[in-house]
Structure 1
Amino acid sequence: MKERNHELVEKISYNLSHDKIVEIPLSKLRRNPYQPRDYFDEAALKDLTQSISQHGVLQPIVVRETIKGYDIVVGERRYRASQLAGKDTVLAIVKSLTDEEMLELAIIENLQRENLKPLEEAKSYATMMKELNLKQQDVADRLGKSRSYIANVLRLLNLPPSVKSLINEEKLSSAHGRTLLGLEKKHQLNQVAQKIVKEGMSVRALEEYIKFLNANDHGKTRKARKSKPNFLVKHEYQLKEKYGTNIDISKTKKAGKISIEFNSEDEYKRIMELLLEE
């Protein structure tokens, strides 16, 4: 819940009159083992390095003492920049935190960044679920987000590495990534992703292109396909938002069918869990 986040942030916030700031050798520090962030902007890191070279670390990092030294709780960029600046030590505040608090604080810190990448966000949620044994709804409640939002972000983790790289490089948006997952022949993902980049394809255009590819895979021609009623399109969208996966609704005069897509055993279990809860 949001209150939980505030409590955790308050626990690591410091006041110079109460918290002791110490100088710790960089050699005794290690990155937070629960840190979901993999990418650090080189230009921003270079700017911070120059600042630390001239003025030092103006805001101490927060660490937790361990048998082997210290784990960084908050401030890995400052730690990395200090290394690049040739510093031997860094100012730090030592806090007593549990593994669960370490994990949540690392994720909260990352989620509050404006330049957080979609896949870093997805990895953050997945890490919380795995390490803290949480369900998507639990994560949503703790972070003050909707369950459907969490589910949609997590879907990006089902993309192949090459497509993930394009998203990290900002050549594809997260919306492109989620739309690509609607492609029935998964071996075409890389090819279609490259087409998006080459042609500057919008998400809407990609949706239409994937519909065309999927229809042809079923032995239909573009000419023979009838447009889907608006109310079915609307309901498909609502179900996609609710379950965080591709939904197809088809209807004839006598019957209809709702198809729910899953790309892994974990995703299948997640969807079944949601369906059975209702």
Structure 2
Amino acid sequence: MNIIAQTEDNRLITTQDEEVQHIALDQIKANPYQPRKTFDDTKLDDLAGSIRQHGILQPIVLRQTIKGYHIVVGERRFRASQRVGLTTIPAIVKTMTDEDMMELAIIENLQREDLNAIEEAESYRKLMDDLQLTQQEVATRLSKSRPYIANMLRLLNLPTEIMRMIRDEQLSGAHGRTLLAVKDKRTMNKMAQQAYEESWSVRYLEDCINSAKNSKTSKQASTSKKKPKFIQQQERQLRDQYGSKVNISTVNKKGHITFEFTSEEEFKQLIQQLNAQYRK
């Protein structure tokens, strides 16, 4: 006999030759691997009202432990049943490993209707970290493309404040990915706040970022033209020698030579070159 268990977002799990049991609510605990920590009270009240009127139409799925049961699928129905005052709940008890529990909890979380882009990205990261999966393996398991997974994970590189804005639906995930093109975090936060306050579309935000970049490039070009030719020549020579962008500036008869690096590896390589030159 096949029994169909339903997830919180209408995904169906088929179990074979397993009977529905009525399990006491006080023996059931939440899935310890459940990434979802908060539940909408209004939606839980609505579900409780439905259960009060029609009962529980689909059993939840549990895993038996030494001290009772852990929820595999159906935590919202479990919580709503507590609100109604039920003492038992129909359930299917399945045998599964910790890894199975972990993966199913994360996948179920990914299928929530109210999932925001940051929560989605965090779920992909949790799958990768907890189950030691690559981006390609996550993409295959979830029937998504690897570039899609990679683009979602990039959102986790945003400043905390911008991630909060996406969680609160003040900005979309697409706004967040667009803002990643801004390298300066203060500028990024400022543009994010402005985009929220003025209801910028993603396209308009992109245009503003490109405009700011073009303006900066023009300013740098203008500054470069004002430098004496021999300084520009020295910058080119140092750049060729050390493989790094170099800026030489003079203010009030004081000069600065600045080397640019974009990673720790480039920094270490530059220091080694400078030390080797100093010892000559």
Q: In structure 2, what is the equivalent of residue 75 of structure 1?
A: 74
The yes-or-no answer on 1:13 pairing with 2:19 is: no
Amino acid at match of 1:142: R
Amino acid at match of 2:145: S
Give the stretch that moved more between structures: 38-47 or 98-107. 38-47
Deviation at 1:157, TM superposition (A): 1.8
Amino acid at match of 2:28: L
Query: Partners in 2 of 1:116 and 1:168 — Cα distance?
Result: 9
Q: In structure 1, what is the equivalent of residue 155 of structure 2?
A: 156
Q: Deviations over 1:8-28 (max 9, x none)?
A: xx995236xx32222223232
State how many pairs are aligned: 217
Q: In structure 2, what is the equivalent of residue 107 of structure 1?
A: 106
Give SS of 1:44's match.
Answer: helix
Name the CA shift for 1:109/1:84 in 2 (closer, same or farther; >3 Å).
same
Give SS of 1:220's match.
Answer: helix
Give SS of 2:144's match.
Answer: coil
Amino acid at match of 1:137: Q
Amino acid at match of 1:80: R
Give SS of 1:14's match.
Answer: strand
TM-score of the two chains, using structure 2 as the length reference: 0.68
Q: Deviations over 1:158-216 (max 9, x none)?
A: 22333222222222111001111221111333332221111010111111222344455
Deviation at 1:217, TM superposition (A): 5.6
Q: In structure 2, what is the equivalent of residue 272 of structure 1?
A: none
Query: Partners in 2 of 1:193 and 1:31 — Cα distance?
Result: 37
Q: Deviations over 1:116-146 (max 9, x none)?
A: 3222221221111011111101111222211
Q: In structure 2, what is the equivalent of residue 255 of structure 1?
A: none
Q: In structure 2, what is the equivalent of residue 124 of structure 1?
A: 123
Name the CA shift for 1:185/1:108 in 2 (closer, same or farther; >3 Å).
same
Query: Partners in 2 of 1:87 and 1:67 — Cα distance?
Result: 23
Q: Is contact 2:159–2:185 with CA below 8 Å preserved after alignment?
A: no
Q: Is contact 1:12–1:62 with CA below 8 Å preserved after alignment?
A: no
Bigger-Rg structure (1/2): 2
Q: Is contact 2:23–2:89 with CA below 8 Å preserved after alignment?
A: yes
Give SS of 1:13's match.
Answer: strand
Q: In structure 2, what is the equivalent of residue 196 of structure 1?
A: 195
Name the CA shift for 1:24/1:141 in 2 (closer, same or farther; >3 Å).
same
Name the CA shift for 1:88/1:216 in 2 (closer, same or farther; >3 Å).
farther
Q: In structure 2, what is the equivalent of residue 53 of structure 1?
A: 52
Name the CA shift for 1:62/1:184 in 2 (closer, same or farther; >3 Å).
same
Q: In structure 2, what is the equivalent of residue 271 of structure 1?
A: none
Percent identity over paired residues: 53
Deviation at 1:149, TM superposition (A): 0.2
Give SS of 2:15's match.
Answer: coil
Q: Is contact 1:212–1:222 with CA below 8 Å preserved after alignment?
A: no
Deviation at 1:218, TM superposition (A): 6.0
Q: In structure 1, what is the equivalent of residue 241 of structure 2?
A: none
Query: Partners in 2 of 1:66 and 1:222 — Cα distance?
Result: 68
Q: In structure 2, what is the equivalent of residue 36 of structure 1?
A: 35
How much is the aligned-residue C-alpha RMSD, in angstroms? Answer: 3.0
Amino acid at match of 1:195: Q
Name the CA shift for 1:214/1:41 in 2 (closer, same or farther; >3 Å).
farther
Q: Which runs of 5+ in 2 are unaligned?
A: 1-10, 224-261, 266-280
TM-score of the two chains, using structure 1 as the length reference: 0.68
Name the CA shift for 1:88/1:143 in 2 (closer, same or farther; >3 Å).
same
Q: Which runs of 5+ in 1 are unaligned?
A: 1-9, 225-260, 266-278
Amino acid at match of 1:162: E
Q: In structure 2, what is the equivalent of residue 174 of structure 1?
A: 173
Deviation at 1:222, TM superposition (A): 11
Name the CA shift for 1:193/1:87 in 2 (closer, same or farther; >3 Å).
farther
Q: In structure 2, what is the equivalent of residue 253 of structure 1?
A: none
Amino acid at match of 2:110: L
Name the CA shift for 1:213/1:41 in 2 (closer, same or farther; >3 Å).
farther
Give SS of 1:184's match.
Answer: coil
Deviation at 1:102, TM superposition (A): 1.3
The within-5 A match list for 1:241-252 is: none
- What stretches of structure 1 move > 6 A for 4+ residues in a row? 221-224
The yes-or-no answer on 1:88 pairing with 2:83 is: no
